Amino acid sequence: MFKSLLNWKVLVNLLVAIGIFVGLVWLTFRWLEYHTNHGQEIPVPNVINKSVHDAVKILEDAGLDYEVDSAAYNPKYRPLQVLKVYPSPGSRVKDGRAIQLMVNPKSWAPVAVPDVINKYSGLAFQRLEQVGLKVNDTIYEPSIQKDAVLRILFKGNSIKPGTKIPRFSVIDVVVGSGPMRNISIPNVVGLTVKDAKALIARNLFEVGLVDFEDGGNDDSDIVYYQDPAAGDSRDQGMQIDLWASKKTPAELRGKIEILNSTYRMKVDTTLPPVRYDEVPNFQDAPVIDATPAPVSPPKKEVPKTDAVKSNVSSGSSKPTTSADKPKPATTSTSDKPKAKKMIIN
């Protein structure tokens, strides 16, 4: 068997097989070099600080692909400015390699406007600042909702809650300043219910009861009566009741007179004015103190001793006699009461 392996035919076949294998391997590597551009590398151009449009054009001219990604907005850099490049500028890459570009966005990431309508303005401002919105002007508008947020304005236009706008955007807030006083009520008699409601809303009033004559709910009916009457003065937000019918006001004079007797109270000015007398208020009269004034006790008279002193000083005092003594006062017999005689049996 060993001798058969040394046969020249076998050796020739073996050498041919080895040659074919080596040739296939060489052709495979050559095909790979051609297909993968082996040895052909392109330096990455420096596009940092350029706009994304200029950077894309430079990469396309160099035969490179690109991928654009945005970072967090930074106001220090221009919008759409290229901040980073990967691979780094100067690196050698093959033709067609995708270059990643990190770009500064146009503005901040959008945020949703919170629902602060009809909320107290102080709490609404705090909520707006929490989401990153800045309140520029506070516009006050007459409204029955005093100090409540009525609308939010962005670039002069009203926006609804939930609308997304860039973060740190400047907005204006419309706040109610309280109701207006003594507004003249418009005349809506003769208008359709739809037009009357619009006119009432434009004059800052509210629509109250709407009584349809046929019991329906057709806004095309004609208003033939209103309360309060046109021309009266009321505060903003007061309700205006309406009576509507498919008939004209001229055809409903009877009902209008009945409504006038109920809602239009007439005051007879021909009667003389009533004079009212005021009742004196005794509680306000001054109180007289009836307690007697205290009486001071009488002063005792002190006898004079001038004559005695003069006699003692002169030393000529005389002894008193019976003639000098004062005589007692005598009572006459006629003045004495007479004794009554009593008879005892």
Q: What CA–CA distance (Å, rounded) separates 202 from 95?
A: 69
The domains of the chain are located at 41-103, 110-176, 183-263
pLDDT of residue 319: 47
Task: Tell me which fold the domain 183-263 belongs to.
Answer: Trypsin Inhibitor V; Chain A (3.30.10)
Per-residue pLDDT band at 6 (split at 50, 70, 90): low
CA distances from 316 to 111, 310, 311, 320, 326 (A): 136, 10, 6, 12, 21
- Amino acid letter, residue 260: N
Tell me the pLDDT tens digit for each residue of 268-296. 556 666 666 666 665 555 555 555 555 55
* Residue 240 confidence (pLDDT) above 90: yes
Tell me the pLDDT tens digit for each residue of 203-219. 889 899 999 988 888 88
Tell me the pLDDT tens digit for each residue of 321-342. 444 444 444 444 445 455 555 5
Q: Are 190 and 226 in contact (CB under 8 A)?
A: no
pLDDT of residue 90: 86
User: Using CA of residue 10, residue 15, residue 21, residue 23, what is the dihedral sign?
Assistant: negative
Q: Is the pTM of this model over 0.75?
A: no
Domain range 41-103, CATH class:
alpha beta
Domain range 110-176, CATH class:
alpha beta
The answer to whether domain 41-103 and domain 183-263 are alike in fold is: yes
Cis peptide before 228 (omega within 30 of 0): yes
* Residue 111 confidence (pLDDT) above 70: yes
Q: What CA–CA distance (Å, rounded) separates 151 from 173?
A: 6
Report the mean per-residue pLDDT for the chain.
Answer: 79
